[in-house]
Amino acid sequence: MTRSNLILSALRRSRPFSTLSRLLANPNPLTLQPAIPSRNSLASFHFPSCQFFSTRTDDDSDFLALPTASEPINFDLDTVMEGVVNGSNVFEESVLPVGAVISLLESCHDITGLPWWIIVASSTLAMRMTLFPLLVLQMHKIKQISVCFPKLPPLLPPPLSGRSYMEQIIFFRRERRAICCPSFSWFLAYLSVQFPCFLLWMTSIRRMSLNNHPGFNCGGTLWFQNLTEFPHGGLAFIFPLLIAGLHYVNVQLSFDRSSIGNTSGQLGLLSKCYKYYLIFLTLPMFFIGYYIPQGSLVYWVTNSSFTIIQQVSLKHPVVGAKLGLLDKDSPKAPVMSEEMVTPESVSFDSPTKWCKVSPENLSPDELLVLSVQLLSSGQRDRAISMLQMALKKDPNHTKALTVMGHTLLQEGLHAEATDHLERAISKLFLADHATAEDANHLILTLQWAGVACISQGNKAEGIVHLEGVASLEEPEDPKSKAHYYDGLLLLASALSREGRKAEAVKYLRLVVAYDPSRRNFLEECENDEDSFVGDLVSSRRRDY
């Protein structure tokens, strides 16, 4: 006996005993409910009827009789596979309205009588044009966010704030609503609609191609006459090459002259890695194109081509002005190149003749001024490289050390910032800050060094730097004096955080004597309120 016959025999033996036990438990067999539904659930698989499992003959002699092994068992594999395929289509239909899109495309084809490849391309263009207003709306919202963002507090609790992460997020949301800043979810608004539409159209056209939709076998043109076939023949490389090339161009346009491309720090590094990842996908997409039906390839090429045209159009100044995406009054940032335009004289403020020189030929002072210009235009990476070049030429350049330390502090590189700032402090103390400008630089450097140390958890060292501000004489210069009392305010905040309330109150009284508008800080500290530190950081968040 074969293994299949043994299994079937075991199954048949197990069923009658189960039915017999039910008969013995019920004294009235006429009212016995059937052990299984009367409808045969195995009918679709063409198994023989299972009625013999619980049916009795006239005489009880063959009640437990088994069917002979010669009875055929018809197992139709094609029917099973058809059920599996239909089940997958039902699941796909429940997620995406593929049938509705196919019906829409059929209606357009019946009404216009155009070839199927034109129907696929035109429907893709119509879908993208329908989504275009949403993209413009998203760009308007992002423009409003960029205007409001400098006015918002940091999303993470800054040093000396005394707030938890949840409290800082609640405070951030409250401030965002107060200035009517749009929600940050607008960054994902267009993608959340465009990506499902892309999948819907792609899945619909793919199903029409794979299911040999009527007319698809002759609905193409040129080298792709049959839309149901995969690329083949001598011209099979055209579609894969188009898809890979259009993808590469889209990546270059997306990262060219954009805010992401000019982003510095860790976010800038992540954006560059993401760009290189997308470029790397160009090669796999070329080979994947050989395994996609030509009908789907027509859709993919049309969609990618529209994306390129859309990006180029939106970056054009005339189109941007018509759509209200450009600020007519906003000054344009200067475009920096490897050869920077600088005056022949050392002073950058004098209206002397300008010429093109290489940054390597500039003096440390000129590189410092150039780095400040780059920082003002938001190009921190270029500014840091200029500062590094200046410090390589003159490692003891105090102003370059101070600007480098402050830039690294803004980038969140607190350890590197502390190193540069402490080197600048030592040089400034040796210079004895003879001029008002040197004294102002020393005050600012001590403040930034204190904040950098406290941000790393070195609170004692940070307080020492801030106490260095208090040890200086009160400057006569109004600008330096304002920075001096700002340093005293930060020192009072740090002391209050460490529980040294009496010392904090002493410095706060000096601050209030200079600026009575900050009396609320003194009152909160005297009343031993924890909100003093948070309000102080909130008022000073733009400086750091």
Least-confidence region, from 32-46, 84-98, 235-249, 370-384: 32-46
Q: Which residue has the higher pLDDT, 122 or 268?
A: 122
Asked whether 98 and 203 are in contact (CB, 8 A), the reply is yes
The DSSP string of 162-197 is: ---HHHHHHHHHHHHHHTTPPPGGGGGHHHHHHHHH
Instruction: Give the residue from 430, 443, 458 showing the smallest Cα distance to 488.
Output: 443
Q: What does residue 342 show for φ and ψ, rounded to 5 degrees? A: -140, 155
Instruction: Give the residue from 261, 285, 287, 288 showing the smallest Cα distance to 272.
Output: 261
Q: Give the residue carrying structure tokens 């092994």.
A: 69
Would the pTM count as exceeding 0.95?
no
Least-confidence region, from 35-44, 215-224, 240-249, 378-387: 35-44
Q: Which helix (H) or strand (E) holds 404?
A: helix 398-410
pLDDT of residue 431: 66
**Span 38-52, pLDDT tens digits:** 444 434 334 344 433
Q: Which helix (H) or strand (E) holds 354?
A: strand 354-357
pLDDT of residue 243: 94
Residues facing residue 355 across a β-bridge: 342
With a cut of 60, say whether residue 14 has pLDDT above it: no
**C-alpha span between 327 and 333 (Å, rounded):** 13
pLDDT of residue 434: 61
**C-alpha span between 286 and 292 (Å, rounded):** 11
**Span 485-541, pLDDT tens digits:** 887 888 887 887 777 878 877 877 788 788 777 777 777 776 765 444 444 444 444
Q: Do you know the residue count of the chain?
A: 544
With a cut of 50, say whether residue 177 has pLDDT above it: yes
Instruction: Give the residue from 431, 436, 121 showing the smallest Cα distance to 301.
Output: 121
Residues facing residue 267 across a β-bridge: none
Q: How confident is the model at residue 357 (pLDDT cuts 50, 70, 90)?
A: low
**Span 248-261, pLDDT tens digits:** 999 998 887 544 54
The DSSP string of 423-462 is: HHHHHHHHHTT-SHHHHHHHHHHHHHHHHHHHHTT-HHHH
**What's the token pair of residue 367?**
């590189």
**C-alpha span between 366 and 489 (Å, rounded):** 34
**C-alpha span between 286 and 237 (Å, rounded):** 9
Q: How confident is the model at residue 296 (pLDDT cuts 50, 70, 90)?
A: very high
**How large is the average pLDDT for residues 272-288?**
91
Cβ neighbours of 310 (radius 10 Å):
17
Q: How confident is the model at residue 66 (pLDDT cuts 50, 70, 90)?
A: very low
Q: How confident is the model at residue 322 (pLDDT cuts 50, 70, 90)?
A: confident
**C-alpha span between 366 and 132 (Å, rounded):** 47
Domains belonging to the chain, first-starting first, are: 3-62 (no CATH), 97-322 (no CATH), 337-391 (no CATH), 396-543 (1.25.40.10)
CA distances from 90 to 87, 106, 138 (A): 5, 20, 35
pLDDT of residue 96: 67
